[in-house]
């Protein structure tokens, strides 16, 4: 039984394929980039690439791309796919997910799958610990990290835990189906995360508090205004308010979720250690 792993260049997909390889589980890697070594061309925004990628496949690890989700689902049903594991987002559980640019695409793919006969498992991570990589440039240069809400909480989850959860639901029929909200083991403020980064690196790190307007202007070249507004709204809602954490990682993988400190140690080179 072959598994198609989409999003071949993504961190979760890379971790998942390493786990599948170690287990000797057959899989096919799909990538939107033509010529990716060891991968079949599967651009989730281009239905013309779906048929070949899905041929002979029975399970799919699917990144959430809404633009051609219905076409992908239709082709998967035709190909005889039995189970789809979607990398969604816990943002779909928030208020007005259809109107929020951070969650709308994930919700649309969830809905396309739920309307199909495909058995579907929804993995809904909270905040990726890897979001901290956006701090690497200022930290490497010794500059402060700019934060509009230093005391805003999130639930940073290690991409390795997401990959292991995906492996579990793909390979254990008893775990397939349903929805799982994946979080790290702690609710941490951005300021607390930076303190952990500094502790691991063995050097002081600092941050500078910006107003939301200042931060939005600073990121305008690479974060579209609707997304920036949505992020600011989410951070404001969590300012000084711990967010809930779940035991879903432990229930699916058999071990507690990795700490943010573990994630930093695993990625210390990115911060110039």
State whether 152 and 222 are in the same domain: yes
**Strand stretches in the chain, DSSP E:** 2-5, 27-31, 39-41, 57-63, 83-87, 119-125, 145-147, 153-154, 178-182, 188-189, 207-209
2-56 per-position pLDDT tens digit: 999 999 889 999 999 999 999 999 999 999 999 888 899 999 999 999 999 999 9
199-221 per-position pLDDT tens digit: 999 998 999 999 999 999 999 99
The CATH code of the domain that includes 84 is: 3.40.50.720
State what percent of residues in the chain have pLDDT above 70: 99
Q: Which of 105, 125, 145 is the last residue of a domain?
A: 125
State whether 71 and 152 are in the same domain: no
State whether 112 and 224 are in the same domain: no
Smallest CA-to-CA distance from 126 within 3, 245, 256 is with: 245
Q: For residue 166, tell me if it sits in a domain.
A: no
Q: For residue 176, tell me if it sits in a domain.
A: no
Q: Which domain holds residue 237?
A: 127-158+183-273
Number of structural domains (the chain) is 2
Phi first, then psi: give them for residue 41, nearest 5 degrees.
-70, 115
pLDDT at 243: 97
User: Token pair of 183, please?
Assistant: 């979080």
Q: For residue 164, tell me if it sits in a domain.
A: no
The whole-angstrom separation of Cα 93 and Cα 97 is 7
Q: For residue 202, tell me if it sits in a domain.
A: yes
State whether 14 and 45 are in the same domain: yes
Q: Is the pLDDT of residue 246 over 70?
A: yes
Look up the pTM and report it: 0.96
When pLDDT is cut at 50, 70 and 90, the band that residue 192 belongs to is very high
Q: Is the pLDDT of residue 226 over 70?
A: yes
State whether 77 and 137 are in the same domain: no
pLDDT at 1: 53
69-122 per-position pLDDT tens digit: 999 999 999 999 999 999 999 999 999 999 999 999 999 999 999 999 999 999
CA 59 to chain centre: 19
Q: Is the pLDDT of residue 262 over 90?
A: yes
155-166 per-position pLDDT tens digit: 999 999 999 999
State whether 199 and 142 are in the same domain: yes
Smallest CA-to-CA distance from 144 within 219, 189, 206 is with: 206
């Amino acid at each position: 039984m072959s598994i198609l792993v989409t999003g071949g260049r993504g961190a979760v997909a890379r971790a998942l394929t390493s786990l599948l390889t170690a287990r000797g589980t057959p899989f096919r890697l799909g990538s939107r980039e033509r010529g990716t070594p060891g991968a079949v061309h599967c651009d989730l925004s281009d239905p013309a690439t779906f048929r070949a990628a899905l041929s002979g496949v029975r399970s799919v690890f699917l990144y959430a791309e809404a633009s051609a989700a219905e076409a992908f689902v239709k082709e998967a049903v035709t190909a005889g796919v039995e189970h789809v594991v979607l990398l969604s987002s816990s943002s779909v559980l928030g208020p007005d997910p259809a109107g929020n640019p951070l969650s709308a695409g994930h919700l649309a793919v969830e809905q396309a799958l739920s309307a199909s006969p495909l058995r579907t498992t929804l993995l809904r991570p909270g905040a990726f610990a890897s979001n901290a990589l956006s701090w690497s440039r200022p930290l490497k240069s010794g500059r402060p990290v700019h934060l509009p809400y230093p005391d805003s909480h999130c639930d940073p989850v290690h991409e390795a835990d997401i990959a292991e959860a995906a492996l579990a639901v793909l390979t254990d029929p008893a775990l397939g189906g349903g929805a799982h909200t994946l979080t790290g083991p702690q609710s941490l403020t951005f300021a607390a995360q930076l303190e952990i980064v500094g502790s691991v690196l063995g050097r002081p790190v600092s941050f500078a508090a910006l107003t939301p307007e200042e931060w939005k202007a600073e990121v305008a070249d690479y974060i579209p205004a609707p997304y920036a507004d949505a992020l600011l709204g989410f951070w404001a809602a969590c300012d000084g308010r711990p967010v809930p954490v779940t035991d879903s990682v432990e229930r699916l993988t058999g071990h507690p979720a990795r700490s943010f400190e573990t994630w930093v140690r695993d990625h210390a080179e990115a911060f110039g250690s």
